[in-house]
Structure 1
Amino acid sequence: MTISISTPAAGSWRTISAALLTLVVLSGCGGSSSSRPAFDHATGITAVVATVDPGYTAGAVELIALRDGPMQSSGSFHSTISDISVNSYGQHYYLIESRSLDRISKVDITNPGVFEWRHHGYRATDTATPNLYDLVFVSDEKAYLLRYESNTAWIVDPSATSAADFFLGELDLSAYNAGGRHPHMSAAILVGDRLFITLQRLDSNWLPTAASYVAVFDTDTDEEIDTGHNKDGLKGIPLVSRNPASIAYQPAVGLLVQGTGEWMGWDLSGGIDRINPDNFSVTQILIGDSTFGRIEHLALIDETTAYISAHQLYGQAHVHRIDPRSGALLGEVDAAAGRDIRALAADPLGRLWIGDAGDSTPDDPPGLRVIDPRTDQQIAFVQTQLLPTDIAFVTED
């Protein structure tokens, strides 16, 4: 099974004072785990979970070792702001803090209380926050840093030990501005030597009035590829669904792009688009509507199974199993019916993880629901201290 998932943090607008780009190599910083329960990662696979408090005033990372027996959260590591996300590469995970911080921290899973380094993703010439969103890896020495409220994505060297060596270059996406705003790069994924970046293209009122796009870059040359659609004077792939939030890939399926539609209302212009990465054709395979709900999350398990969450009312979602090639509905996860779903992710063992906010009471705590895709049944529930909003998986070398 080959599977790649990229899931960004939720977007918002922020301002900060400009500051110099810094890369600080840290020794023993980021907090010690001595005051927390010992974290046992002996199985070699760990779920890294970004969590936030119900009032969205604070956040932290919680770790869960995958095992056959009972699983439990490590408790909070690296307490910080609420606007955070996580991703992974090798045996490291990366904590992205957006909003006023706009910084990334690298953590080795075998030493989870310590940051190997931390850096900011803005320059002295920036007049506002770039709003860091995602870090997509080509190799140990090259990655792409998505900056949601900027016209450029950065090309960076995650192995660098100095600020001067960290920044390698930029991808210019300014052509995709819509309504005088930024192109709003929201997620990205690699397929071979091509980088696919989703662009929301929201207007000045943060509405998806313009067509959303996927821009494609050659990772060898960092030049944009003309996909041949010849629409709006742009080189990229115009999407049918609007306001893309995540993108996934599986060789037998191609690319799936999940579009939310309007976040601040219930404009149901979102859906799931399927892209052929070879000829760049695009087809909408599922659409949100007033009966089905607004599609907000996607997890691609394999060539025959994917899951999406559909919200009919705030805090009330349903998780559906779909055919990732046709969009046909194949079933529903009963354990998630009517729940406040904040995240979906596929783990390396081919299982679905659902981030459930609960109602923050002892009888209904937040946590992760682990689902067997063969039956759509829950096989584990792992309670978390805070509300789980983003999930990545790290496998030790």
Structure 2
Amino acid sequence: MKTSLINPLSIVALSLAVSACGGGSSGGGKSQPVAGENTVVVSTVAFDYSGSNIQLIEFENDDYTVMPGVVGEGADQSDTTAVRYGEHFYRLGRYNIDNLTKYNFDAPSTPIYNYSTLNDPEDASGNPYTVAFASEEKAYVIQYGENEVLIINPSAQTEDEFIIGGLDLSAYEDADGAAEASDGVIVDGKLFVVMQRLVNFSPAEEGVSSYIAVFDINTGAEIDTNPNDDSGNLKGIELTTRNPNKFVYREDVGLFLQSTGDAFYSYAGRDPGYTGGITKIDTNDYSVSMIVDDGDADSHPYGFMYNLAVVDAQNAYFVGYESYQNYNLYHFDPSTGGVEAVAAYSGLDISELAVGPQGNLWIGISDVSQPRIELFDGEDTLGTIGLLQNPGAILFAK
């Protein structure tokens, strides 16, 4: 395995093209070439969760520069992530933070705004998980703790103009009163919102399935994905997997969903529940196909499944949980479901996967002394990018 550690603020040569590829769940709207198109946005968090930041990796020709963190105020907050669209990137504060901070690539250390994602300052935390962008003037905030998807104007000049509407998920609430929406993606003018529907950390409650609600972004109406069934049934797509976490959409391959299953079994003294896997969602007829099953109580070769990255129609990756901070990387073929372990990436604290330039896999690895991103082409490690904190979301220009 060929590796070389690169310290932050260094400039190094690496044989990579600067055109960007997809592979994340945020966004879904198409944009033209923009400022920062050769910049990678990395959300980071301290090893002890004492704070977080955003680091930028800038490309020029075949070189790149790893820049220090851009966040000033709020760097002591740890439950954050990042999203990007067009000429801007954003820092999203999650549980008990509830805000969105906008930055421009031309002046990344100076926030344009910091707006609350709460309808009322007295509201309990909505715990916003991610943002799906339809345009510069319209985006959707997926909230884990509220039965509403916020519709926002990312270009709002004042905070009063920021929240412009909402989509109702209350039909999907479970016994604890929340649907637990965990991700969203826009495909062909439709917003897909996946909901875990957990009760006391349990995704195995009898009769309560995970669902995907689908909305027309032009009208705001929820689409009935199975109009021929009982009119009293939920309109969304019922899932056979539980505890869904991450969408990945590639226009040339399709929409995929990673589900973890009952990884929280120990909280309630249950036996492990292997009800996760990788599924493919048909965005036209809304059918669901199991691509990789995580197994059952007797045979679960990958452990609990985390994260997902799709390179192309024959190459994709997920992470299998062995034990705390001990994960293994697996390659699978989305067309056949065939799985093989990637021996070079086993026994590591793998925190993120993303598809970057030239279709290489960017692997975020958390480590107390060497937090980093490693670039993997399917056979070899091409290089290692050292970070100041552990990597979370890794985002490229669309």
TM-score, normalisation: structure 2: 0.83
User: Which range is displaced more, 65-74 or 332-341?
Assistant: 65-74
**Is contact 2:223-2:235 (8 Å) kept?**
yes
Q: Which has the higher contact order (CA 8 A, sep 6+)?
A: 2
Whether 1:391 and 2:394 are equivalent positions in the alignment is: yes
Distance 1:237 1:322, change over 3 A: same
Q: Distance in 1 between matches of 2:334 and 2:202?
A: 29
Distance 1:316 1:182, change over 3 A: same
Q: Give matches, 1:78-93, under 5 Å.
A: 78=71, 79-93=75-89
Q: What amino acid maps onto 1:287 in structure 2? A: D
CA shift, 1:72, in A, is 5.0
Q: Distance in 2 between matches of 1:250 and 1:192?
A: 12
**Is contact 1:187-1:197 (8 Å) kept?**
yes
User: Which range is displaced more, 377-386 or 340-349?
Assistant: 340-349
CA shift, 1:99, in A, is 2.0
CA shift, 1:186, in A, is 0.7
Any gaps of 5 or more consecutive residues in structure 1? 9-41
**How many equivalent residue pairs?**
356
**Is contact 1:239-1:273 (8 Å) kept?**
no
CA shift, 1:125, in A, is 6.9
Match of 2:70 in 1: 77
CA shift, 1:52, in A, is 1.1
Q: Distance in 2 between matches of 1:75 and 1:146?
A: 29
1:281 pairs with one of 271, 287, 290: 287
Cα shift readout 1:29-83 (whole Å, capped 9, x = no counterpart): xxxxxxxxxxxxx984122111111211211111112467564531222124111
Cα shift readout 1:335-390 (whole Å, capped 9, x = no counterpart): 321111111111253221111012x13xxx110011113x3x21011111111122
Identity %: 31
Q: Distance in 1 between matches of 2:361 and 2:381?
A: 9
Whether 1:178 and 2:174 are equivalent positions in the alignment is: yes
TM-score, normalisation: structure 1: 0.84
Q: What amino acid maps onto 1:349 in structure 2? A: Q
Match of 2:148 in 1: 152
Q: What amino acid maps onto 1:303 in structure 2? A: A
**Is contact 1:47-1:391 (8 Å) kept?**
yes
Q: Secondary structure at the match of 2:396?
A: strand
Q: Secondary structure at the match of 2:344?
A: helix
**Is contact 1:7-1:245 (8 Å) kept?**
no
1:343 pairs with one of 352, 362, 368: 352
Q: Distance in 2 between matches of 1:381 and 1:125?
A: 43
Q: Distance in 2 between matches of 1:214 and 1:120?
A: 26
Q: What amino acid maps onto 2:244 in structure 1? A: P
Whether 1:63 and 2:18 are equivalent positions in the alignment is: no
Distance 1:66 1:320, change over 3 A: farther
Match of 1:36 in 2: none
Match of 1:380 in 2: 383
**Is contact 2:254-2:281 (8 Å) kept?**
yes
The CA RMSD measured in Å over matched residues stands at: 2.4
Q: Distance in 2 between matches of 1:261 and 1:370?
A: 28
Q: What amino acid maps onto 1:380 in structure 2? A: G
Q: Give matches, 1:16-55, under 5 Å.
A: 44-55=37-48
Match of 2:322 in 1: 312
Any gaps of 5 or more consecutive residues in structure 2? 1-19, 28-34, 266-271
**Is contact 1:131-1:147 (8 Å) kept?**
yes
**Is contact 1:178-1:203 (8 Å) kept?**
yes
CA shift, 1:304, in A, is 2.1
Match of 1:11 in 2: none
Match of 2:30 in 1: none
Match of 1:224 in 2: 222
